[in-house]
Each structure stands twice: as C-alpha cells, then as structure tokens.
Amino acid sequence: MHKRYLMAPGPVSVAPEVLAKMSEPLIHHRSPQFSAILTDVREGLKYLYQTENDVFILASSGTGGMEASVINCLSPGDKAIVVRGGKFGERWEELCTTYGISSVNIDVTWGDAVDPADVESALDANPDAKAVFVQAHETSTGVKHPVQELGAMLRNRPDTILVVDAISAMGVYELRTDEWGLDVVVTGSQKSLSLPPGLAMVSVSDKAWKLVQKSTLPKYYFNFLKERKALGRQTTAYTPAVSLIIGLGEVLKNIRDTGLETLHTHHKRLSEATKTAITALGLELFARTPAEAITVIKAPEGINGQEVVKILREEYGITIAGGQAHAKGKIFRISHIGHLCEWDMLIAIAAVERALKQLGHPVELGRGVAAAEAYFADH
C-alpha cells in the first residue's frame, strides 16, 4: 500500500484548501460575484508579477500562453531571436516556425544558461528582430537563464521586446517584471502556481502593446486586444475557467498573506537542501546555473535515470520526472514547486537513495537525508 506523492515539475500537488475552494458550487461568470473575484485575482497577479501591466488569464495550458504571445506580438515575416537551451526553448522556435516567423536560434548546450553576450551579438547582427524569446527557468534542464541582464539589454533597443516563459519560475524566485523590463511574461497554473492544469497567464508591457496593435498574424480565441476590452468590463472575452480562477484567487491570497520574499525563501530552502543531499551522495547536478524550482540529477554511470523514476513511481508511490528528448535516461528531476515542504524533500531524497541502491549503485542509505536535515536545521 502506498501513499501517493507528486513531486514532478508539473502538474504539482495542490493544497487541500485550494482543492476545497475549487469544489464549491459553481457561480456564473457574468455576475457581480465573479467580477469581484476576477478583480481580486488580477490585483493578486500584479503583485506576484511585480507589474503594473495588465495580466490576461487564458483557459489553456502554458503552451497556449506561449502561442498567444507569438501571435499577438508578431506579424508574418517578422524575425525573432530564440534561446534554445532545452525542450521549452525549442518550443519557442517551433511556434515561430508554425506562424511564419523567421527565428534566429541561439543554441545553448543543455545544462548551460545562455550567455547574454551571445544575445547581444545576435541582436547586433539582426537589428530588425522584433522579439527575443527565452525561458526564465528551462524546466527540461533545471537552468536559470539571466533574464534580468537580457531585460537591461533590450531597454536600449526600443523596437525589440523580451518575451519570457516564466511557467516554472514565477513565484519561485525573484522576477521583477517592470523593474527588469520583461515585456511579455507567461505563466501556467500547474507549475509554480500550485494549481491543477488549465490556466495560462500573460502580462503585456506598453512596449509590447505597440507590437500587439500592429500584429497581423491570425488569431481568434488568443486575442490580447479583445481581452483588454473585456478587462475594462471586469470580465474575460470568453467563458473563463471559473473554478480554476477561484482556486487561483485562493493561491494568490495565500501568496499575498505570506509575502513574495517568504515564498522565495521557502523554495530556496527546499532546493538548497536537496542539492546539498545530492552532492553528499556523490551524485552530480545537471544544471550549471540551477534554479530553485527543481533539482536535476545526472544518473550515475551505468544507471538509467528512467529506471529510478519507474521504481519511485511504481514501487514507492512517488512521482518525480525523468529527462526529456536526448536527456532521457541520463537525468531525473525532483520538484520543489507545488504544495511541498521540507519533510517531503526528505522523502524524495530517501527514495532516490533506496532506488539507486536497488539498482546496484553504491550508496550509503541516509547520507543524503542527513545532509538535507542538517541543512534544514541550520537554515
């Protein structure tokens, strides 16, 4: 018999009080009651994003928010610079290609962060590029890209916007939308917002609005101009995902009560304790500039990372994530996002120790757990 634990980087575990809130009897979306909720949620999102910009809420997974950003900001034949350092960077390129945008790709070795100098060179060589697309945190590799530096760079280029996929980063660590000049920022409900899948949120700066107003790519549902009009009436253009937005209200209320700084410290503790444990076990981290959202571990020589994931899921009841694309089998990933606390991390570390031992890797059981416990006790 197992107790089930969800420790993959999305979908993540959801707090019981949020699940309870979402299961309350449904209300109508064109009603003063829902408008009041939506107004609160929009204010909460501005707090989370640290922005004065509008933040739109779309009924889709995170990829829908990425697609919405491309089709609302660009026009056929436009050029964009894409940071491709993992599965989700590749998605930006695929979206651009789908819509006839010519993408100048900056290929980054998986596990590395983009070098801002490479983006600067690409911008110098392509001054007509309308946008730079990047991830704040590339979930497939665990890498944190330097979006603050990129934002500063693009401030001096009035015709190019910075579009940031912060789907697994927003709320995890510091991301200052306005202060850092992040023009379009995408998030999704089932990652750092600790909700079930189904919502994408996108903020749009004044600089980006200039492109939105000129954009001629085809769009119907994902339409920022329609959403902005609806927002003036305290509603959404089409039927919103009512229950998820009510859940989002609960999450944002908790975030405001707790404070962003405390939330960032929480993720930092979980992340650093886990990384300390992994190192104590003699294992290697995959990301060279790791984010606090997940810990990505290189499978030791002779061990298939997918086997570790399988043992945890099928024998211990614990879901973590494996590698994607060419990293499949080579890494495994433990989440720090979602409704998790330090005790959950000790469970994940203990399970990894046991699975590795089961697979014949020499580990001293308890060594990683002890290192993490010592970290938690000291921090």
Ligand X SMILES: Cc1ncc(COP(=O)(O)O)c(C=O)c1O
**Distance spanning both ends of the chain, measured CA to CA:** 34
Smallest distance from ligand X to CB 168, Å: 4
Binding part of the chain for ligand X, among 49-57, 58-66, 70-78, 234-242 by CB under 6 A, reads 58-66
In this structure, is the dihedral angle defined by the CA atoms of residues 230, 234, 236 and 239, taken in order, positive or negative?
A: negative
In this structure, is the dihedral angle defined by the CA atoms of residues 136, 98, 9 and 307, taken in order, positive or negative?
A: negative
Amino acid at 14: V
**Which CB, 137 or 361, lies closer to ligand X?**
137
- Which residue, 4, 1, 354, 17, is CA-closest to 195? 17
CA gyration radius, the chain:
21
Q: What is the largest CA-CA distance in the chain?
A: 62
Query: Which x/- pattern, by CB under 6 A, does the window 137-176 give for ligand X?
Result: --x-------------------------x-xx--------
Query: Which x/- pattern, by CB under 6 A, does the window 276-305 give for ligand X?
Result: ------------------------------
Which helix or strand (DSSP H or E) is residue 299 part of?
A: none
**Which CB, 188 or 368, lies closer to ligand X?**
188
Rounded Cα distance, 331 and 327, in Å? 6
| 168 close to 87: Cβ distance less than 8 angstroms | no
Binding of residue 320 to ligand X (CB under 6 A): no
Binding residues for ligand X restricted to 180-199, rule: CB under 6 A: 188, 191
**Which CB, 165 or 227, lies closer to ligand X?**
165
Binding residues for ligand X restricted to 69-88, rule: CB under 6 A: 88
Smallest distance from ligand X to CB 53, Å: 20
| 186 close to 164: Cβ distance less than 8 angstroms | yes
| 251 close to 193: Cβ distance less than 8 angstroms | yes
Tokens linked to 285: 């981290």
Residue from 10, 111, 151, 247 in contact with ligand X (CB under 6 A) = 10
**Which CB, 88 or 224, lies closer to ligand X?**
88
Smallest distance from ligand X to CB 351, Å: 22
Binding of residue 61 to ligand X (CB under 6 A): yes
Smallest distance from ligand X to CB 88, Å: 4
Residue from 15, 19, 35, 63 in contact with ligand X (CB under 6 A) = 63
Smallest distance from ligand X to CB 65, Å: 8
**Which CB, 147 or 372, lies closer to ligand X?**
147
- The DSSP secondary structure of 77-113, one letter per residue, reads T-EEEEEESSHHHHHHHHHHHHTT-EEEEEE--TTPP
Tokens linked to 21: 């809130």
**Which CB, 63 or 306, lies closer to ligand X?**
63
| 316 close to 173: Cβ distance less than 8 angstroms | no
Binding part of the chain for ligand X, among 55-63, 206-214, 232-240, 313-321 by CB under 6 A, reads 55-63
Q: Are strands 321-322 and 331-335 parallel, antiparallel or unpaired?
A: antiparallel
Binding of residue 135 to ligand X (CB under 6 A): yes
**Which CB, 123 or 200, lies closer to ligand X?**
200
Binding residues vs ligand X (CB under 6 A): 10, 61-63, 88, 135, 139, 165, 167-168, 188, 191
